Amino acid sequence: MSPGRATAGLVLAAALAACAAPPAGDRVSLRVAPRLSSFVAYLAADAGYFATEDLEVELLVWDSAATVIPSLAQGDLDVSTVWRLDPAYLNVIGRGGRIRLVAGGMRYAPGECGYSSFLVRPEVLAAGRLDELAGLRGLRITSERTSSSYYVWARLLERAGLGFDDVEIVDLPAEARIDAFASGRVDVTTATEPWQTQLVRSGHAVRWRPVADVLPGFQSSFVVFGRRLLDERRDLGVRFLRAWQRAVRDYVDHGRDERLISIVAARTRLDPGDLAAMCWPTYDRDGEVDRATLEDYQRWALAEGLIDAALPLETIFDASFLANAAAGGG
């Protein structure tokens, strides 16, 4: 082949590659955690749903949530999922920060397996201490004031006629709870997968009841957009959410089938057999944000002094992205 033809071939190949790849403006950064909770993101990426929307989605493994809110508000991060209602999100929005909830996620569904559950030391349960909720008095529980588990515990203790002054709060990371249960430093905790399966398997904890028993229908996670998708590239936000909701519907329709378990196992390094045995979360097909969840949580957080003010839902949630995604708009 002559040098001229070779050069022309390289130029043509480069041009075709440029046409095939999404332009730089069609890149979206998405914060994920290396856990089961990010399975929708992994499914949307590995099943090609983002690619179908001509999006190049960068999955950023970001295990710490401390810098997520400022990164979203500054436009350094485009999308994150919120696995708990955090007062910090509401306070930043109330102070003018450019972050918004755009879709709902996991829900505590009555009758579900129990993706999020209360776990208790076997000795406490065997002694009949929790035959009545009032038996929680004096027990050691794990929580922290700004976490979603604090809200869950507040509602359970309220049902028992108790308050936080009636229990001992131990603040521990999830990874340290097996040792804490083994040593008797903790009596009861809330845990999601995979930690609850690991705790039960250790023999130092047993499932007591799912969180759905205390907060039936409560929406526990959300999709959040940052400044760039809200103000500069709303079209990318619509396309992202269309792909995201396609993955959600895939999961709702087919459950944790072999393909999804394989995807999550590869992304998280969790054992496929363990994933098949775990309790997976409940999602709604339509992705709507549950207004009752936001209203009740804000009332509680305001009474606890955790938020500056209760905000109108339209200030917290931008429904236009979900509506446009459902309508096929760009």
Domains 23-107+218-327 and 116-213 share a fold: yes
Q: Are 197 and 116 in contact (CB under 8 A)?
A: no
Q: How much is the pLDDT for 182?
A: 92
Q: How much is the pLDDT for 235?
A: 96
Q: How much is the pLDDT for 148?
A: 73
The list of the chain residues with pLDDT below 70 reads: 1-25, 63-65, 83, 146, 329-330
Q: What is the CA radius of gyration of the chain?
A: 22
Report d(CA 304, CA 3) in Å as an integer.
75
Q: Which two tokens stand for residue 229?
A: 């998708």
Q: Which of the listed CATH numbers 3.20.20.140, 3.40.30.10, 3.40.190.10, 2.60.20.30 matches domain 116-213? A: 3.40.190.10
Q: Does domain 23-107+218-327 have CATH number 3.40.190.10?
A: yes
> Is cis: bond before 194, omega within 30 of 0?
yes
Report d(CA 127, CA 238) in Å as an integer.
54
Q: How much is the pLDDT for 25?
A: 56
Q: How much is the pLDDT for 311?
A: 95
Determine which helix (DSSP H) or strand (DSSP E) holds 98, and give its type and residue range: none
Q: How much is the pLDDT for 138?
A: 96
Q: Are 241 and 102 in contact (CB under 8 A)?
A: yes
Q: How much is the pLDDT for 134?
A: 96
List the chain domain ranges: 23-107+218-327, 116-213
